[in-house]
Amino acid sequence: MSDLRSAVDQEMAQARADLENLVRIPSIWADHAHREDTRRSAEAVAELARGAGAESVEILAAQGGAPAVVAHWPAPEGAPTVMLYAHHDVQPTGGDEKWTSPPFTPTERDGRLYGRGAADDKAGVMTHLAVLRAFRSLPGGLPVGVTLFIEGEEESGSPTLTALLAEHHRKLAADVIIIADSSNPAVDVPALTTSLRGLVDCTVEVKMLERPAHSGVYGGPLGDALTALCRLLATLHDDKGRVAIPGLVHNTSDAPDLDEATFRADASALEGVELLGTGTLVERLWQQPAIAVLGIDAPKVSEASNVLLPSARAAVSMRLAPGQDPAVAQRSLTEHLTGHAPWGATVTVTPGAAADPFELDPVGAVYEAARRTFSAAYGNDAVEVGIGGSIPFIGEFARTFPGAAVLVTGVGDPKSRWHGIDESLHLGMFGHAVLAEALLLAELGSAGK
C-alpha cells in the first residue's frame, strides 16, 4: 500500500491543475447561454479520461439532455466492476459581483481553492481521475474494472437520466457504485452518506387584477397580488416554523445530535435568529420536510411605482423526508397553495422538478471495506451521516442496478458553501479523498480475486 500512497501523492499536483482548468469552464447547463460551455466541459473530461488510460470513452446524451462522459477500464479476471460517478455541470453563480474572487477564476486562499464547481462537483470528477491515474503508474494497474460516469445535468435535477440509463444500461452496469457528490462533517472526518432528503418544487402565481391599478385611487378595498402572494407563502409554516402542509412524512432519529453552536457558525446565522421546527437538529435536517421560497418575480424596489400589482410569482422548493413519495408531496403542496388563496385571488401552481429521497442500510463487505480504507486515509474513523440535500439520481441508480452496493462519499465540508457565494474546496481534504478511494478500490480488487 505504500506504493499506492506514493502514487497518489505524486498525482495530486496535476490533479489540482486539472481541477482548476475544469473550474474555468462555466458549465451551467441550466442556463441556455452556457450550453456550449457544458459541452466543452464534457469534452475536457473525456480528454482527461483518455489520458488516464481508458479503453473507451464516449460522450452520450439522451434526447434533449446534457452531455455525459462514459469511459471504461476492463476488469481483471475475477475482479468486480465499479462505477465512479460525479457530475461536471455546476450551479449558477448567484451574481459574480458578490464573490470575493471571480467564480470561474480558481483562487487559493488559506488552503482552500475557491471557484464555482471547485467542490460541487468537479472535485468529485478529479477525485476519480486522480485515482485512475495513480493506479496507471503502478506495475499492476487497476485492481478492478471501472466505468467512469460523469453526468452533465445533476444541478438541473437529472431530468433525462432515466432515459440515459434505459438506453445505455449495459454500458453502465456495475457491482459497486461510488458516488462522489456528498460532504463530510469536517475536513479530517470522512463520511458515508446513508440518507438524503427528496425534493419537489413549483412555481406559484397569484393574480388579482387584469392590469395595474393606481394604489391611491383603488387601494384599500382592492388588494395587490404581491401582498396576496406574501400571505399565501406565510401559510407554508406554522408559528414554530414547522412545515404546515398536512400528510407529509416526518421521521425520528436516534443518531447523535449536532452541536447547535457549530451548526449556526457553519450556516452563518445572524445573532438572535431562531431555529425553526421541533425535534433534534439531526431530525430537522435529515428526517423532516423543509420548505424554502427561492425567488419572487416582482418589481425591484428601485423600479417600484404607486400601483397595485396585478400578478406575482414565486419559486417554492420543498425537501422531503426519507420514505416520502414525491408525487404525493407535490400534490399536497399544490392543494395547500390553491386551497389557501387569499382574498379570492387566482392561484396557479406549475409543478417543477421532483426527486426521490434515499436511505440505505450500510451493511456488508463493501461498506466494511469503505469504513476501513476511509478511516486509514483520513486518520479518523469514518462516520455515517444523513444529508438534508437531494441527489436525484441515486434512487434511479438503485432501481436500475438493484444488486449493486451504493456508496455515497464526497469532497465537501461545512465551509465549502455548495451552491453559494465563494464555494471552495479544502485542498488537504481533496488529497484524503483521493487516497481513500484508491485504497478502497485496491481492497475491492483483492477481495474479488
Write the single-letter amino acid at 299: P
Q: How many Å apart are CA 373 and CA 435, to the nearest integer?
A: 9
Q: How many Å apart are CA 77 and CA 256, to the nearest integer?
A: 43
Write the single-letter amino acid at 334: T
Look up 89 and say whether it is catalytic.
Answer: yes
- Of 90, 80, 88, give the one whose Cα is nearest residue 48: 88
Q: Are 127 and 221 in contact (CB under 8 A)?
A: no
Look up 266 and say whether it is catalytic.
Answer: no
Select which of 11, 20, 37, 89 is catalytic: 89
Q: How many Å apart are CA 81 and CA 73, to the nearest integer?
A: 9
Select which of 37, 151, 154, 283 is catalytic: 154
Please list the active-site residues: 89, 154
